Amino acid sequence: MTNLKKQLCLFLTSALLAMLVIPVTAVAASSPTFSAKSTQDGSNIVLELTGEQLDDVYAYEFRVAFDPEQVKFVSGKSPQEGFTADPMVSEGSVLFAHTKTGQAKGMDGEAILASLTFEKLHPADHVSFTISSIKLVHSSLELTAVSEELTVMASGALFTDIAGHWAEAAISKASQLGWVSGYADDTFRPQANITRGEFVTILVRALGLTADASASLSFKDVDAIPAWSKGAIAAAVKAGLVEGYNDGTFQADKLVTRAEMAAMIVRSQSIAIDDGASVTFADAEAIPSWAIPYVSAAADRGWIHGVGNNTFAPLKHATRAEATQMLINLTAE
């Protein structure tokens, strides 16, 4: 292999990451396209890159960006004959390059180009990858650069405890959107209660608000608010979605009630509430007076439902499943 081609190989590199088959839009009718599929191997994700409509491809390079807090690059290889450069890994990015050697003809048609392995740091999380800088070199040393950039949300491990659950579809969708995540044992725990801090965090994600970890909070118990939720709580306070209690505390670790959850989702939609609103739930008298307009607005729009026997159970602690379903209902319009 000539030094020039070695240099081209080392210059070229990238990894196409996705959990599903993802096409890259061609720049012309005859341009190559790319797809990737993934498999689970214990706690690892193995991503296989395939090129289609290839024309005399002698060397190639791909770059992929990822969240280093979600996955860690482990290794990369190519099933094609030739020389694979050591993947160039930086914070949140990996560059993969491969070249044939000698006077061999380049690849035509469809071929598997690379297989990359990533370790999942949070087993049930979904992972976002951005693919860019795709370059191909032909045996004549002609370079083709594919300018498309693609962001892919890759599915994480399936939760092991949601099959058949009434909120299974909502949990799966919210997880794919990156709003909710599970636990290290691949469970979601749909019937577990959710805290105020947790609910505000997923609500902020669902609304696409920017969490600001540097923002200051004036709650008396600010030091007790978990660091992972402070930015989301600050964003929610700024947007007028949530308030503290009369004693000046926020109580992030307190379990959120269904009445509180209804109030937050209605505020998130900038709805003018009707102070004279009423509800038809059989336990209407148990709903705090401040919450009735919010419960009425949320129920009328189908964002939140009763718990059976025409009861609302306003002081009942919301579950992770209820909160997730509510977010899907909220954003379905």
| Sequence ranges of the domains in the chain | 3-154, 168-331
90-106: pLDDT as tens digits: 989 999 999 999 888 89
Q: What is the mean pLDDT of residues 122-140?
A: 77
Contacts of 66 (CB under 8 A, 6+ apart): 17, 73, 92, 93, 94, 118, 127, 128, 129, 130
The pLDDT of residue 12 is 44
Distances (CA, A) of 259 to 1, 22, 275: 70, 42, 15
DSSP 195: B
The token pair at 253 is: 């670790």
The phi and psi torsions of 196 (rounded to 5 degrees) equal -60, -40
* Residue indicated by tokens 């990894």: 15
For 119, list phi and psi in degrees, rounded to 5.
Answer: -90, 130
Residues listed for the chain: 333
How far is the C-alpha of 54 from the C-alpha of 51, rounded, in Å? 6
Which residue did the predictor score with more confidence, 168 or 2? 168
Pairing of strands 143-146, 127-138: antiparallel
Q: How far apart are the first and last CA of the chain?
A: 59
Dihedral (C-alpha) 23, 27, 29, 31: value to the nearest 10 degrees? -70
- Please give the structure tokens belonging to residue 5: 């081609």
User: Which pLDDT band, with edges at 50, 70 and 90, does 30 fall under?
Assistant: low
Cα–Cα dist 86/18, whole Å: 21
Q: pLDDT digits over 241-289, tens only?
A: 998 999 999 999 999 999 999 999 999 999 998 999 999 999 999 999 9
Nearest alpha carbon to residue 196 among 218, 174, 224, 220: 224
The SS3 of residue 263 is helix
Separation between Cα atoms, residue 243 and residue 231, nearest integer Å? 15
Instruction: Name the region of 310 (left: φ>0; alpha: ψ -120 to 50; beta: rest).
Output: left
Cβ atoms 119, 68 nearer than 8 A: no
CATH fit for domain 3-154, picks 3.40.50.720, 1.10.3720.10, 3.40.190.10, 2.60.40.680:
2.60.40.680
* pLDDT digits 0-9 by tens, 186-245: 789 999 999 999 999 999 999 999 988 888 899 999 999 999 999 999 999 999 999 899
- 119 has pLDDT over 90: no
